[in-house]
């Protein structure tokens, strides 16, 4: 990892222009540029947390807010079913080291071992 701002930090700062589906004082929501489902959104906090493991007790309100935003954006998009994914670390597939939540919808989401 590098100490330079991540692509998500640059998007949040407005250095890279991308359409924002949602924005408030804590986060933004954008479409993933390499979608893995017909609807693939990214919920990105303004705070440049590296990954979930790097969060602290003081980040609990932000983490809850990100979950609420995911649900609110899904409601606005008319999505009944969706999956939220957070990759934590390179071994889990994280490629941008700025915490973000993937919202995936509009395709069958069945994986062995993950059913309720």
Catalytic residue IDs: 100
Alpha carbon distance 4, 14 (integer Å): 16
């Amino acid at each position: 990892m590098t100490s330079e701002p991540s692509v998500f930090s640059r998007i949040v700062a407005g250095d890279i222009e991308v359409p924002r589906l949602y924005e408030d004082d804590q986060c933004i929501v954008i479409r993933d540029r390499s979608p893995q489902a017909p609807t693939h959104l990214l919920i990105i906090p303004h705070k440049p947390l590296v990954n979930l493991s790097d969060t602290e007790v003081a980040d609990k309100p932000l983490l809850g807010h990100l979950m609420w935003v995911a649900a609110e954006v899904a409601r606005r998009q008319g999505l009944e079913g969706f999956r939220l994914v957070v990759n934590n670390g390179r071994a889990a597939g994280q490629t941008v080291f700025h915490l973000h939540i993937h919202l995936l919808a509009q395709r069958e989401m069945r994986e062995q071992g993950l059913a309720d």
